[in-house]
Amino acid sequence: MTRSVVNLVLLSAIIFISIFSASSSGSASHESFLQCFQSGLGVNSNTSSGIVFTKTSSSYEPILDASIRNSRFLATSVPKPNFIVTPHNLFHIQLALRCSKHSNLQVRVRSGGHDYEGLSYVSNVPFIIIDLFNLRSITINMEDETAWVQSGATLGELYYAIANRSKVHGFPAGSCATIGIGGHLSGGGFGTIFRKYGLAADNVIDAQIINVNGTILNRRAMGEDLFWAIRGGGGSSFGVITAWKIKLVQVPSTVTIFEVSRNLDDGGSEIFTKWQTVAPKLPAELFLHAVLGVSNSASRLGNKTVVFSFTGMYLGTAENLLPLMQESFAEFGLQRSNFTEMSWIQSVLYFAGFSVDHSLEVLLNRNITSSSFKTKSDYVTESISSTGLEGLWKMLVLEESQFMILTPYGGIMSEIPESATPFPHRKGMLYGIQYSVSWDSNEDATKDIKWIRTLYDYLAPYVSKLPRRAYLNYRDLDLGVNGPNTSYIEAQSWGLKYFNQNFKRLVEVKARVDPENFFQNEQSIPPL
């Protein structure tokens, strides 16, 4: 069967089970969960107000929608949780897990809501959301250069807290300020300084998790296997990760930013061809990524051209960067005036889309305007040929509401073993690709999703193979979905793409810590 047919069959089976279960026991589960939760709060507490929100609550919809970053899942047809639990402490999480098991409700855990396929807040079976937005404390210890960060905090809140304590410390995580710590770290997490310092997950030194039995565990108590699994293997398969102890990294007082834009008419394709092999070999202090888009062009057939935006960040001064760029990319024609020096935290503002002179308080804003989109990912191990690129340019100009972000690897990423964490995409990777397409109306959705799938299929001969790799934090259900009682062999359709040979170890860890598969979703790790 084709991929779409298999997915449709699995989805139909899941929906059938969901409808049957809801009709036979939905009301009983509803009352059972509430009674269990209120009883668990103790004899002096006769209400769960402010913690548990039902569909009849006036706060239910605002809380649900506040962290939905993909508008595809705002539609009324999308299944909604029976309850939203917004814990104020760890006991509330323990109670939610116990009462969910008692009431046969699935659990989804949300920290920032950036799961591209909505798996942190959507399910086709009766479920609750444990939304961690109240648990976002950050405690920094500058003596040992570490921080404890609760999973409900955002990257922006973390960066803000670090900047308030030090001008020469940072953390190697993503650029989007509203991403939740919990999902980002458990999926790997990379950003503008990862070639120098590794992934966010590579810099986690302890964690706190509540397991399927409701037990609170730190690194020592959970053991090294589980600690390994949650740093890149997706935490939602193993429990509720409530906090992370991270290692801060030392950054120079001055970093340098520059931008170069080209199109097909002024050498963009030739520069990109060179970028494929040169960018991954640049010093680890230099991050030079490429973003491909489309703009108008009177000189091109169809009046469209591909635009290549190269953005660089250097951990150092413009004086040191200039000769490096003139030697590596003389085609850019860069001069000292093309560089902007700033602090590391200002570079955070820059890559988050803000003015470098903006108040740092903007990083604390958890609200963003969402859009409807579909995203896919790839890894490239050999340069895409000129023939392959010509075909790519022809495909890109067919769709205006798309972009491709190409992230060079190399640096320290080539030195960390593939098995160090579940994230396997290290040595041998030239660059990673994020494809994304967005739309404004439901009428465009089918067309745009078909286009991005066609683009993905076109690039198959030019990207990594056996497996064709993908990044967990760019979740993609096209790769395969779990059905009832999905086996290890069946889950390899998506598991090997995300984790390569690390997938088997993840399955073994899952079998030990959650053998009944209580923590599950469409792409959760199955027990062996």
Residues annotated as catalytic (active site), given as ranges? 474
Q: Are strands 255-263 and 340-342 parallel, antiparallel or unpaired?
A: antiparallel
The C-alpha atoms of residue 110 and residue 67 are separated, in whole angstroms, by 8
The C-alpha atoms of residue 439 and residue 446 are separated, in whole angstroms, by 10
- Structure token pair of residue 173: 């995580």
CA separation, residue 9 to residues 1, 3, 14, 78, 467 (Å): 10, 10, 9, 18, 24
All residues at 6 or more sequence positions from 411 whose CB lies less than 8 Å from its CB, including other chains: 194, 195, 196, 283, 284
Q: Is 353 left (phi over 0), alpha (psi -120 to 50) or beta?
A: left
Q: Which amino acid is residue 118, in one-letter code?
A: G
> Could you please report the per-residue DSSP string of 47-79?
--TTTEEETTSTTHHHHHHHT--BGGGGSTTS-
**Which residue, among 101, 78, 98, has the nearest Cα to 37 in the 3D structure?**
98
CA separation, residue 246 to residues 199, 203, 349, 366 (Å): 11, 6, 21, 21
Lookup result for tokens 């397409």? 437
Neighbouring CB atoms inside 10 A of 181's CB total: 28
Q: Length of the chain, please? A: 528
> Could you please report the per-residue DSSP string of 192-225?
TTHHHH--TGGGEEEEEEE-TTS-EE-HHHH-HH
Q: Which amino acid is residue 71, in one-letter code?
A: S
**Which residue, among 343, 306, 295, has the nearest Cα to 159 in the 3D structure?**
343
